[in-house]
């Protein structure tokens, strides 16, 4: 088994390698003067079980091309099996045709990864679970819930905790966390008038005096979370904390979160945190390296991965 990484999140790749007690594979991923990407694998991979760690976060197109070219380089270097490890799968939100004459970009990206030569895909908290079916190769969708659950148990009195879904579509995820914590569940009913904006309409459930934990897979602009926090506090919640897997945090999201009424925003390192994120007083990062590392180890040894989440 060998683990390699592009330029998207080398810190996570190194942490995964530390967990596995293996060195990070030597590879050069650089750009020519015209920004063409060039990859050179600097060690033998013939007959090896290769894992490429590369979340396709901002800049998504560059990091996706890095992944595709690395897969091609490994295939042409006679790697026995190539697993694309995408802690964050970019384009996942384009998983359906929301209106006429639009693409299903998540399916296109799945095709690109498959055609490049990947034998397997491993990802974390897909925006929609059915995206696994977009791939014609084995796909493991890991869940960050065990990581988030451990963090919540170490920071909160569970007798006063209420898990909150920020929208109706996230109820399944929120219910799974509430079951693990053995606590109550509430739902934020919101109406989105236009992309990037949300308006909170109603809170389903009694949150009075509760420490509310908003749970979701992606935080992008941060508007939904901040509006939900305002609504929950207005309904009598004691505090509001958000636990999100993928901290996209584009544009002015960090400023929006730091100036909001959120007690804390907890994200994972599936996307490499920016300097602004690391310096924010109410944003905290927890690592998924042991989770992904264990999944990689079990995949390499042909052991069960799903049992990690039983």
Residue 196 labeled ligand binder: no
Average pLDDT, the chain: 94
- Residue 20: its pLDDT value, please? 98
- Do residues 93 and 154 both lie within one domain? no
What residue ranges in the chain does DSSP mark as E strands?
A: 2-5, 27-31, 37-41, 49-53, 81-86, 120-124, 139-142, 161-165, 184-191, 199-204, 211-219, 239-247, 264-268, 283-286
Tell me, what CATH number does 226's domain have? 3.40.50.2020
C-alpha distances in Å from residue 158, one per residue of 161, 239, 264 = 5, 13, 17
Residue 221 labeled ligand binder: yes
pLDDT tens by residue, 33-72: 999 999 999 999 999 999 999 999 999 999 999 999 999 9
Q: Which domain holds residue 160?
A: 145-287
DSSP string, 30-70: EE-TT--EEEEE-S--TT-EEEEE----SSHHHHHHHHHHH
- Do residues 294 and 193 both lie within one domain? no
Q: Which helix (H) or strand (E) holds 292?
A: helix 289-300
- Do residues 170 and 294 both lie within one domain? no
Catalytic residue among 2, 107, 179, 190: 190
Residue 238 labeled ligand binder: no
C-alpha distances in Å from residue 279, one per residue of 221, 257, 276, 283, 284 = 18, 12, 5, 8, 9
- Do residues 110 and 236 both lie within one domain? no
| Cα four-point dihedral sign 91, 96, 102, 105 | positive
Residue 224 labeled ligand binder: yes
Residues 6+ apart with CB under 8 A from 22: 1, 2, 3
Q: Contacts for 196-199 with beta carbons within 8 Å, 24 or more apart?
A: 196/221, 196/223, 197/223, 198/223, 198/224, 198/227, 199/227
- Do residues 297 and 243 both lie within one domain? no
Whether the predicted pLDDT of 246 surpasses 80 = yes
- Do residues 55 and 105 both lie within one domain? yes
User: Is 205 in a helix, a strand, or coil?
Assistant: coil
- Do residues 25 and 137 both lie within one domain? yes
- Do residues 106 and 10 both lie within one domain? yes
Residue 192 labeled ligand binder: yes
Residue 34 labeled ligand binder: yes
Residue 216 labeled ligand binder: yes
- Do residues 92 and 104 both lie within one domain? yes
Whether the predicted pLDDT of 200 surpasses 60 = no
The phi-psi region of residue 302 (left if phi > 0; otherwise alpha if psi is between -120 and 50; otherwise beta) is left
Query: pLDDT category, 104, cuts 50, 70, 90?
Result: very high
C-alpha distances in Å from residue 308, one per residue of 106, 139, 218 = 26, 15, 22
pLDDT tens by residue, 106-130: 999 999 999 999 999 999 999 988 9
- Do residues 235 and 257 both lie within one domain? yes
- Which DSSP state fits 134? G
Catalytic residue at 190?
Answer: yes
First-to-last C-alpha distance (Å) of the chain: 26
Query: pLDDT category, 6, cuts 50, 70, 90?
Result: very high
Cα torsion through 249, 110, 294, 3, rounded to 10 = -90
Query: pLDDT category, 189, cuts 50, 70, 90?
Result: confident
C-alpha distances in Å from residue 118, one per residue of 105, 164, 189, 224 = 18, 37, 40, 36
Please compute the mean of the pLDDT values over residues 188-207 and round it to a whole number.
74
Residue 250 labeled ligand binder: no
d(CA 105, CA 94): 5
- Do residues 111 and 205 both lie within one domain? no
Number of domains in the chain: 2
- Do residues 138 and 253 both lie within one domain? no
Report the chain's C-alpha Rg in angstroms.
20
- Residue 167: its pLDDT value, please? 86
């Amino acid at each position: 088994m060998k683990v390699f990484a592009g330029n998207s999140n080398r810190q996570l790749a190194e942490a995964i390698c530390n967990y596995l007690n293996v060195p990070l594979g030597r590879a050069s991923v650089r750009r020519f003067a015209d920004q063409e990407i060039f990859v050179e694998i600097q060690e033998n991979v013939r007959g090896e079980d290769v894992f490429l760690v590369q979340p396709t976060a901002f800049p998504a197109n560059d990091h996706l091309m890095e992944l595709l070219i690395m897969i091609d380089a490994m295939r042409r270097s006679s790697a026995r099996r190539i697993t694309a490890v995408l802690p964050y799968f970019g384009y996942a939100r384009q998983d359906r045709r929301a209106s006429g004459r639009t693409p299903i970009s998540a399916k296109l990206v799945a095709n690109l990864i498959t055609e490049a030569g990947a034998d397997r895909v491993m990802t974390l908290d897909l925006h929609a679970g059915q995206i696994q079916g977009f791939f014609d190769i084995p796909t493991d969708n890991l869940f960050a819930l065990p990581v988030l659950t451990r963090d919540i148990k170490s920071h909160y009195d569970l007798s006063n905790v209420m898990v909150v879904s920020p929208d109706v579509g996230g109820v399944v995820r929120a219910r799974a966390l509430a079951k693990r914590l053995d606590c109550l569940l509430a739902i934020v009913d919101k109406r989105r008038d236009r992309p990037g904006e949300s308006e909170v309409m109603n809170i389903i459930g009694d949150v009075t005096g509760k420490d509310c934990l908003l749970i979701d897979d992606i935080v992008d602009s941060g508007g939904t979370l901040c509006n939900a926090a305002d609504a929950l506090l207005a309904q009598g919640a004691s505090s509001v904390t958000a636990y999100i897997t993928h901290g996209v945090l584009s544009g002015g999201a960090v400023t929006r979160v730091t100036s909001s009424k959120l007690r804390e925003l907890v994200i994972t390192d599936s996307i490499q945190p920016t300097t602004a994120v690391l310096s924010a007083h109410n944003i905290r990062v927890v690592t998924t390296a042991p989770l992904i590392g264990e999944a990689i180890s079990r995949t390499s040894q042909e052991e069960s991965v799903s049992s990690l989440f039983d």
